[in-house]
């Protein structure tokens, strides 16, 4: 399997694409205060999955998967704040939160499957 075929990676890239569309339209002050941190956390999810994918040892892979999960939670927080502050619409908020939560479920499954590979190699 190739990285870009991994479902959790594909979902995280889709979230990045949708988030970037929103980020581009934010005013400079909102980008500076919240938008840049938000887009970094969103982009960090797929970047950490990719870095973990390239690691040989299963425990090393999961170190980056855990980083991706942390970035996912950070993305949920920033997305909530963007909505709370009136910077994204209810439809954008609902779409992003749904995708982020679905990605979290897939990432947790991926982490668990990687853990099971560790146990098989003992």
In a domain, 119, yes or no: yes
In a domain, 23, yes or no: no
In a domain, 58, yes or no: yes
Q: Is the pLDDT of residue 43 over 60?
A: yes
To the question of pTM greater than 0.85 for the whole model, the response is: yes
What separation, in Å, do the N-terminal and C-terminal C-alpha atoms of the chain show? 23
Q: DSSP secondary structure string, 2-57?
A: -GGG-HHHHHHHHHHHHHHHHHHHS-HHHIIIIIHHHHHHHHHHHHHHHHHHT-SS
Q: Is the pLDDT of residue 45 over 90?
A: yes
| Residue 56: per-residue pLDDT | 83
Query: Per residue in 58-75, pLDDT tens?
Result: 889 999 999 999 999 999
* Residue-number span of the structural domain to which 108 is assigned: 53-122
In a domain, 31, yes or no: no
């Amino acid at each position: 399997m190739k990285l870009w075929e991994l479902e959790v990676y594909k979902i995280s890239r889709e979230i990045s694409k949708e988030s970037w569309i929103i980020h581009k339209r934010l005013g400079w002050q909102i980008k500076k205060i919240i938008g840049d941190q938000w887009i970094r956390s969103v982009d960090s999810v797929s970047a950490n999955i990719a870095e973990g994918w390239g690691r040989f040892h299963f425990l090393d892979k999961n170190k980056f998967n855990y980083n991706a999960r942390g970035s996912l939670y950070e993305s949920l927080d920033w997305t909530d704040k963007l909505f709370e502050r009136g910077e994204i619409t209810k439809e954008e908020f609902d779409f992003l939160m749904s995708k982020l939560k679905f990605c979290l479920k897939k990432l947790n499954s991926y982490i668990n499957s990687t853990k099971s590979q560790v146990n098989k190699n003992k």
